[in-house]
Structure 1
Amino acid sequence: MLEYLSERGRKWVRTLPPLVKAHFDNFYNMYDKEKNPNGLINMGTAESHLVNNEICDLLRKSAERMDLTGYNIHYNKFEGSDEFRTAIAEHWQNIIFGEDADVTLTKDNVATCAGCTVALETLAMLLAEPGDVFLIPAPYYSSFVDDINERAGVIPVGVWCDEKLDRNAFEEAYEKVTKEGKRVRAVLFSSPNNPIGTVYKKEAVQNVIDFAMAHDIDVISDEIYAQTVFDPEAEFISTMKLVPASYRHRVHVTSSFAKDFLLSGFRTGMCFSFNECIIQGFASITYYSCVSSHTQSLLTAMLKSPELSGIMDLSRQRLAKAYHIFADGLAAIGVPTMKAQAGIFVMADFSAYMEKDEFEVEHVLWEKIYNDLMINVSPGQLFGYNEPGWFRACYAFDEDTVHEACRRLATLKK
């Protein structure tokens, strides 16, 4: 049947990569302490399950409160209704700028779309031509690669940085790329960091801004985990807050309801920008990927609900507890982890279980953990790691599930 498809259509007819297949396999063999105690524990997908009941209850209340009229059930602006974008701007005002800031987010700085993936792809299309380059400090969110390259054709170039986001590393990468005849159009990074869970210090984020300004390029700051900071000693600072007013139109923030609010299935993301042409571009492109009017009405009511802040606090408390249970469990079997301060994942060093320091052996170890222990984790190579043996594990489950994952990992043989 493949011969009936176009050349470009044929590339989409492909089997799922093993790591993607592992995610979907979870649907058919999901671990349950009572019903399926030997089932798969999916620690490869960055989703939180810690306040499922509370969020569902809040959505039921929000459904009763939402203002659903004839206006809400028909076509609306592709970038999102005025009411929805206003509610988003009011909620994220404190996250990005703070309540007492002299800069105010309005609906005119917000565009919504069907997930953060779409927001990132749209920015790639608006800011770069196919073959242009985005510099991405590594380790990085693995799907950044597909988000900007699969259809937009932007080339991702990893820049190995420590948590200080060393400017010299960016300068070296920039020089190398330009010598190859390519054009760097932006820096793309996640803040807080995915996969490590680092909350960048002010000076680190400032390094990115200073580098971008020096080379007249844009910055895309994916702040999808901004509301998951559970370390009391860490302070999240939005990239947009630090940039000078004269360059604010060159910094774009993406986020979503998928992580902080647990609503990954709602497919609702957004872009914040002070470049009106970026927002106008979203208004055109999101014709193909806008958010349903019903979802917008429901989430508008949720953002206005008095119970929301308490649920977010509870989520962070449970994240901290789950993180410490899992990190302590790994430490007990001699598996080091990198300190996480936010997010729903931790990077763990399983290199002691590898015979050779090679990424091929890392993949073999992933298969062993998946097939023998029925735990899905993500190999570090996906995130641009320069050392084999690191794996990302998402731990945002109830305590029984986290303890069970630790019990199984303790049986892993070297």
Structure 2
Amino acid sequence: MASLLSNRGQENLAGLEIPWRFAPPASKRYNKVSNPSGLISFATAENAGVQEELERYVAENVRIPAAAFFYRYSTLGGPLFPAAMASFMNEHFNPFIPVEGNQILVASGITGILNMLAFSLGDPGDAVLVSSPIYGRFELDFSNEARLRIVYARMEGLDSFEEGVVERFEEAIKEAEASGTRIKALMISNPSNPLGICYPRETLRKIMAFCQNHRIHLISDEVYGLSVFDTGNPDAMSFTSVLSFDTTGLIDDELLHVLYGMSKDFGAAGLRLGCLITRSVPVYRACTAIGRFHNPSGPSIAIGTAILEDRAFHTSFLARCRSRLSNAYKVTTGALEKANIPYRKGGNAGLFVYVNLSAWLPDAGMSGQDREFALAQHLVDHGVFLHPGEEHCEEAGWFRLAFASLGDEELTEGLRRLTSALDSLA
């Protein structure tokens, strides 16, 4: 009997069955009162603890106008939000050339932006080049609809923040071309997801020159750009946006694209507001041609615009967010160090730490992936969830631990469960 689904539909359906691909549903999650035996999940990078403040601000300061119920108010961001975001970025991202509202395209989240970029920059079978480890869901963002692939450059022990990373990219692009795969773009996450480290300025310069030399697009995901906090480490790298460069003679405007939104720094993932910042008119227009599938809602645009236009509020709000992240990071790393659990040092950004649980992996006779799956199941049996293999680290045993997604009590309990689960394997 013929399938009721297209080949695409069947492939996407099969993707739902990939082991450990998705975080546990809300019905299985921990709640101190209603579900104390539920799972505590460190899988989702959300900036918790600020939503009640956002709720109060919106209730007291935001009016949803009647116009917000028309299409035109929010189509591709509407007339107000892009201008407010441009002003915000000009203040906080230090662009060499000020960003203008007509260079910002708004969609229902960065996932939607990546989907539009995938359709606009490549054809099925083309690829996007990345280093590892990196956020694993980029695979879905580029492949589920547009059918672009992700090519992971082999780092072989090299730190992806070193200037020598471009040599690994050179090797990867040659191998891809030799196999008949066209690399259409290189993507970085700055600050890094999952490492929480910012790219040095000179490495960014080298990466831009590499993209210019190969005439491929550079997509810089800077959604954690203002979630850089104090860790007490004076050597921690500060955030540098690619927008801050004088790109004359370095990379053409047509090849440089930045992603930002309100999901991480603002703790407002539910607003579903993601932005593409680009000076490339062809890329901008190609994305607008399919933007009707990804438009944000009018109420979200009204709320987001109000927050961005209220400089006093968002300045103090972001400072409080950074203070909370700093405290949660210190609680998390303190617990990890007390339990002798290694983690990637040097991080000072984002909502997570990258922990090395390789010492607790089971029988070395299994594949690296199966060993991670087995350890993940052991953690679930002890009431805590970490995604195995999600960031495509070349060494087995590394897991992203999203500490900012939990309140203080839940974070403490989750770290206790993690430590207890690993102690039981000693």
Using the size of structure 1 for normalisation, the TM-score is 0.92
Opposite residue 95 of structure 1, the aligned amino acid is H
Q: Is the 8 A contact 1:192 1:342 kept in 2?
A: yes
Q: Matched residue of 1:189: which SS?
A: strand
Q: Is the 8 A contact 1:135 1:184 kept in 2?
A: yes
The equivalent residue for 2:318 is: 312
CA apart distance, 1:69: 3.9
- Structure 2 residue 314 is matched with structure 1 residue 324: no
Write the distance in 2 (CA, Å) between the matches of 1:129 and 1:96. 32
Opposite residue 333 of structure 1, the aligned amino acid is A
Write the distance in 2 (CA, Å) between the matches of 1:5 and 1:210. 43
The equivalent residue for 2:81 is: 84
The equivalent residue for 1:245 is: 248
| Residues 45 and 16 of structure 1, relative CA distance in 2, 3 Å threshold | farther
* Aligned pairs for 1:193-342 within 5 A: 193-231=192-230, 233-242=236-245, 244-245=247-248, 247-305=252-310, 306-339=312-345, 340-342=347-349
CA apart distance, 1:293: 1.8
The equivalent residue for 1:405 is: 414
Write the distance in 2 (CA, Å) between the matches of 1:402 and 1:8. 39
Opposite residue 352 of structure 1, the aligned amino acid is A
CA apart distance, 1:195: 0.7
* Aligned pairs for 1:124-143 within 5 A: 124-143=118-137
Q: Deviations over 1:251-280 (max 9, x none)?
A: 100122111111112221110000012221
Q: Matched residue of 1:186: which SS?
A: strand
Q: Is the 8 A contact 1:95 1:226 kept in 2?
A: no
* Aligned pairs for 1:42-57 within 5 A: 42-57=41-56
Q: Indicate which of 338, 347, 354 corresponds to 1:347.
A: 354
| Residues 386 and 21 of structure 1, relative CA distance in 2, 3 Å threshold | closer
Using the size of structure 2 for normalisation, the TM-score is 0.89
Alignment coverage as a number of residue pairs:
404
| Residues 243 and 128 of structure 1, relative CA distance in 2, 3 Å threshold | farther
Q: Is the 8 A contact 1:220 1:252 kept in 2?
A: yes
CA apart distance, 1:282: 2.1
* Aligned pairs for 1:362-381 within 5 A: 362-370=372-380, 372-379=381-388, 381=389
Q: Is the 8 A contact 2:126 2:149 kept in 1?
A: yes
CA apart distance, 1:96: 2.8
Note the residue ranges of structure 1 that are not aligned, 5 or more in a row: none
Q: Is the 8 A contact 2:12 2:144 kept in 1?
A: no
- Structure 2 residue 31 is matched with structure 1 residue 22: no
Q: Matched residue of 1:383: which SS?
A: coil
Q: Indicate which of 161, 164, 170 corresponds to 2:162.
A: 164
Q: Deviations over 1:320-349 (max 9, x none)?
A: 111111111111111101122100011111
Identity of aligned residues (%): 27
Write the distance in 2 (CA, Å) between the matches of 1:190 and 1:21. 21
Write the distance in 1 (CA, Å) between the matches of 2:348 and 2:268. 21
Opposite residue 127 of structure 1, the aligned amino acid is L
CA apart distance, 1:16: 4.8
| Residues 239 and 156 of structure 1, relative CA distance in 2, 3 Å threshold | same
The equivalent residue for 1:97 is: 94
The equivalent residue for 1:41 is: 40
Opposite residue 301 of structure 1, the aligned amino acid is A
Q: Deviations over 1:204-223 (max 9, x none)?
A: 21221121112121100011
Q: Matched residue of 2:289: which SS?
A: helix
Write the distance in 2 (CA, Å) between the matches of 1:359 and 1:21. 16
Which stretch has the larger CA shift, 10-19 or 246-255? 10-19
Q: Matched residue of 2:226: which SS?
A: helix
The equivalent residue for 1:154 is: 148
Q: Deviations over 1:216-246 (max 9, x none)?
A: 2110001111110113743111123225135
| Residues 93 and 23 of structure 1, relative CA distance in 2, 3 Å threshold | farther
Opposite residue 239 of structure 2, the aligned amino acid is F
Q: Is the 8 A contact 1:257 1:269 kept in 2?
A: yes
Write the distance in 1 (CA, Å) between the matches of 2:394 and 2:115. 26
Write the distance in 2 (CA, Å) between the matches of 1:258 and 1:288. 20
Q: Is the 8 A contact 1:78 1:284 kept in 2?
A: no
